Structure 1
Amino acid sequence: MRKLRHRGWRFSQLGIRKALDPLQAAWDAFSQPVPASCGQLLTQLLLCACLAVAAAELVCHWLVSSWLYPSGLSGIIATVCGLLVFLGLGLVPPVRCLFALSVPTLGTEQGRQLLLSYSTATLAVAVVPNVLANMGAAGQVLRCVTEGSLDSLLNTTHQLRNASTALGPTSRSSGRGLTFESQGNGSAFRLHMLRVTQGVLEDFSALESLARAAALGTQRVVTGMFMLGLLVESAWYLHRYLTDLRFDNVYETPQLTRQLAQAQATHLVAPPPPWLLGIARPKLSREELLRCLLRLGLLSLLLVVTAVAVATDHMAFLLAQAAVEWAQKLPVVPVTLMVKYDAAYSVLDFVPFLLNRPPAQSPFLSARHCFQWDLRFSSAGCRLLPAQRPQDAAALAAASLQLLAGCTVLLEAYARRLRHAIAAAFFPAQEARRTRHLRARLQRRYDRHQGQRPPPGASSLSRPHGPQVAEEQEAAGSADLSRYLALGCLPG
């Protein structure tokens, strides 16, 4: 069984290696300053063309969605940018290196800040104007209901006044009058209420427009900073890699291991110093894990804020939708006012009373009036605004960017190693010089430790320079630590 498992594992490794061979060949062709064969030249041109097409698509989408440019102009600008990218990648090897370095730069602190900034801008563009639009829809419902109720009240007052006027001549015949009066000017009150509600809605509309413009401008600026920051960070790393042999030179690469084995100097890394990191070592140190946990805690707070903002957007949408549906379902109540007036007279009505008979009445006046109107609780001329549905795609994009930023916290150490490997692949001569410098540093460290060891048989009291050696060792360690702090790469 063990043999079968061992064979299965070997077969799976062979399958993975065969699957990775084309990718390795493509990477070798892409990282070659001058292609060694026609196959490498074709592979390099094909990869450059694919990257140029992807860059043109991103530029076109950015111009249409963020800058709101027309499709024709965006297509022309994207085509020109794609052509420039293809020429730059195909003719200038450092440009290819910068393009490759920008991918692992996303995993560093600079890339994480840019991702979080773009996520916040995307969320602000999608949520803030939408919440204000839903609040405006609810305010429009209030305006329509107020206007409709006020119109119905004024119409009822007018109909009652008409009824009183119609009964005027008839009621004066009996010496009594029916009057109906309304205090104040109803039209002026109606205009005042409409003016107030219109002012509130205009304030909401202006605030919504301002928030949308501010969020859109912020997204444009952050998008430009996103691309520019990646290129600047990659260019800074490449410049330091090519000019400073000590910069980010703390990795035990296969080239260093091979040189030490050929020179029979493996004792220089036995045991390895704490600042020497394996380029392919998957294990993180305790300090790196604690740093990751702290940063993940801060990112979790940002996720909570994002969830609250999205929940607020959905609640505003549900409230606005319920208010609009309620206003649309308000019934129209028909009102009918029947006014009937009959007048009659009797002569010598005491005689029928003595005979126990009802008095004979002679009607001389009869009036009937009918008044009909509708009570509307929502104005027919007031247009209800629809509730704006939340943009779930933008919220998911913002959350995805934040999760990607959280992944960069865990992958930051590996991203730094990957940047070193990419630069070494594009500039092997510089990597050879850096390897010799690192080997010389390991040799100096070994010689220093050998000089600090006492001769065999000597006691600790017979070493007059022991404190001095200890002080020199502590000073050297402090100098190394200060140098790595200044370079931004702490020894792992």
Structure 2
Amino acid sequence: MKGFFRTLPDIVNSDHIDLKLNFQEMFSGNRPALARLKAQFTAMQDTVEVTAHVAQKVIAPFFILMLLGSSVSYLVRYLTDLKHDNVCQTVRLQELLRARGVEELPEAYRKRLVRTRGWRMTQRELRQCLWQGTILGFYCLVCALILGLDHLIYSVLQTLLSWAQDIPGVHTAISLHLWIAVAVIIPVAEMTKKYPYVIQLLPSDCVGHLSPPDPSVLSTTAALFLTALVMILGEVFSRRIRRKICSSFYRDREEERALYLRDKILSKMEDEGNIS
């Protein structure tokens, strides 16, 4: 686009405007510049489209690799660290505690340990859901403000246009007096005519039709936020399922984790004097 204006014919000089223009020559001189400008815009559009396709192909594998990496990291820590995600109140743990004479878990552990069955959430899971729900609510509030502002601007413009169209126009007229004479003192014809017209403050041809906000945008946004809320709640139970899958494949390691958690609970109860 740098040389676009340089290729335009020079129709104005420093002294006067040359009215003897060859418009055919001017148009033919502008065609190459317009063709180059169109080619540059086309190339720019193609570059943006290619960049978007490449970004999509790069981002999708990136998220898949993140998912695989998270799963591998969890499995490695599950097999190497007895403390990692060892907060589940399993059937095997209850059997081990009963074998040591503990029929019920202490109140503190009943609130902290996650039940492998049922829909009840622990305080830790509730805090995670509340934190993620707060972030989601913030984004929802921002989107609601933007959508509400869109509807507000449309309503205000509609009101202003209706108000401007109701303003009466300015009535004016042009009077034309024509006097024709053959000689200086011999009039041949004389005509006087008046052309009235109205100057509108806002002509109808100058105002385009305002497009109302698309209601599908609101429904789509609400559906996306509802899906995100369901995913936040589903993440809690997906963690439980992930642990169950690991325990089903590595039963010996799960036994060691249950023994470790049992010893930890018994040690805590001994410190509190609940058992001897």
In the superposition, the TM-score normalised over structure 2's length comes to 0.56
What is the Cα-based RMSD across aligned positions, in Å?
Answer: 3.3
Deviation at 1:197, TM superposition (A): 3.5
Are 1:183 and 2:20 an aligned pair? yes
Q: Take 1:437 and 1:235, find their aligned partners in 2: how far apart are those partners? A: 23
The answer to whether the 8 Å contact 2:133/2:229 transfers is: no
Contact 1:303–1:402 (8 Å) recurs in 2: no
- Partners in 1 of 2:99 and 2:40 — Cα distance? 78
Is residue 129–residue 232 contact of structure 2 (8 Å, CA) maintained in 1? no
Q: Which string of whole-angstrom CA distances, capped at 9 and with x for unpartnered residues, describes residues 271-328 of structure 1? A: 2424322222423345234213213225537977999xxx9xxxxxxxxxxxxxxxxx
Q: CA deviation at 1:226?
A: 2.1
Is 2:89–2:113's contact at 8 Å kept on the other side of the alignment? Answer: yes
Give unmatched runs, 5+ long, in structure 1: 1-181, 312-391, 452-492
2:258 corresponds in structure 1 to: 435
SS of the equivalent of 1:207 reads helix
Do the aligned residues in 2 keep the contact of 1:253 with 1:278 (CA within 8 Å)? yes
Residue 295 (structure 1) aligned to one of 119, 127, 135: 135
Report if the CA contact (8 A) 1:252-1:276 is conserved.
yes
CA distance in 1, matches of 2:29, 2:119: 73
Partner secondary structure for residue 84 of structure 2: coil
Match for 1:228 among 65, 73, 82? 65
Quick one: which of 114, 117, 123 aligns to 1:277?
Answer: 114
**1:400 and 1:204 mapped to 2: Cα distance?**
37
Equivalent residue number for residue 458 of structure 1: none
Contact residue 238 and residue 423 of structure 1 kept, 8 A: yes
Deviations 1:454-490 (A, max 9, x none): xxxxxxxxxxxxxxxxxxxxxxxxxxxxxxxxxxxxx
1:236, distance to aligned residue in structure 2 (A): 0.7
Q: Which amino acid aligns with 1:412?
A: E
1:256 aligns with 2:96: no
Q: How does 1:139-178 map to 2 (within 5 A)?
A: none
For residue 243 of structure 1, report the CA deviation from its aligned partner.
0.7
Q: CA deviation at 1:185?
A: 1.8
Largest Rg, 1 or 2 = 1
Deviations 1:418-448 (A, max 9, x none): 1111101111111011000000010111112
**Is 1:445 paired with 2:268?**
yes
Tell me how far apart the structure 2 counterparts of residues 224 and 306 of structure 1 sit (CA, whole Å).
Answer: 32
CA distance in 2, matches of 1:208, 1:302: 31
Tell me, in whole angstroms, the C-alpha distance in 2 between the residues paired with 1:305 and 1:218. Answer: 29
2:78 partner SS: helix
User: 1:406, 1:306 → 2: CA distance?
Assistant: 20
| C-alpha distance in structure 2 between counterparts of 1:428 and 1:305, whole Å | 52
User: What's the secondary structure of 1:266's corresponding residue?
Assistant: coil
CA distance in 2, matches of 1:194, 1:210: 24
Indicate the percent of aligned positions where both proteins have the same amino acid.
25
Residue 409 (str. 1) matches residue 237 (str. 2): no
1:197 aligned partner: 34
Aligned residue for 1:407, secondary structure, equals helix
Q: Is the 8 A contact 2:82 2:260 kept in 1?
A: yes
Counterpart Cα distance in 1 of 2:80 and 2:52: 41
* Distance change in 2, residues 1:289/1:242 (3 Å): closer
**Distance in 1, Cα, partners of 2:223 & 2:29:** 49
Q: Does the CA contact (< 8 Å) of 2:140 and 2:225 recur in 1?
A: no
Match of 2:195 in 1: none
Q: Which residue of 2 aligns with 1:213?
A: 50
Find the aligned partners of 1:291 and 1:208 in 2 and give their Cα distance.
41
Q: How many residues in Structure 1 have an aligned counterpart in Structure 2?
A: 182
273-282 or 230-239: which moved more?
273-282
Counterpart AA for 1:295 = I
Q: In 2 relative to 1, CA 305–208 (structure 1 residues): closer, same or farther, beyond 3 Å?
A: farther
CA deviations over 1:351-410 (Å, ceiling 9, x no partner): xxxxxxxxxxxxxxxxxxxxxxxxxxxxxxxxxxxxxxxxx9xxx8x9988765543222
Structure 1 distance, partners of 2:244, 2:144, is 37
Higher helix share: 1
The letter for the 2-side match of 1:271 is E
The one of 78, 97, 103 equivalent to 1:266 is 103
Find the aligned partners of 2:87 and 2:96 in 1 and give their Cα distance. Answer: 16
* Pair 302,409 (structure 1): closer, same or farther in 2 beyond 3 Å: farther
**Alignment-derived partner of residue 246 in structure 1:** 83
* Offset, 1:201: 2.5
Contact 1:424 1:430 in 2 (8 A): yes
Report the residue type matching 1:265 in the other structure: V
Change (3 A) 1:217 1:303: farther
Q: Relative to structure 1, is the Cα distance of residues 442 and 239 closer, same or farther in structure 2, using a 3 angstrom cutoff?
A: same
Q: CA separation in 1, counterparts of 2:53 and 2:68? A: 23
Task: Give the letter for the 2:34 counterpart.
Answer: T
Counterparts in 2 of 1:303 and 1:226: CA distance versus 1, 3 Å? farther
Q: Distance in 2 between matches of 1:227 and 1:233?
A: 10
Amino acid at match of 1:190: F
Q: Which amino acid aligns with 2:131?
A: R
**Higher RCO by CA contacts (8 Å cutoff, separation 6 or greater):** 1
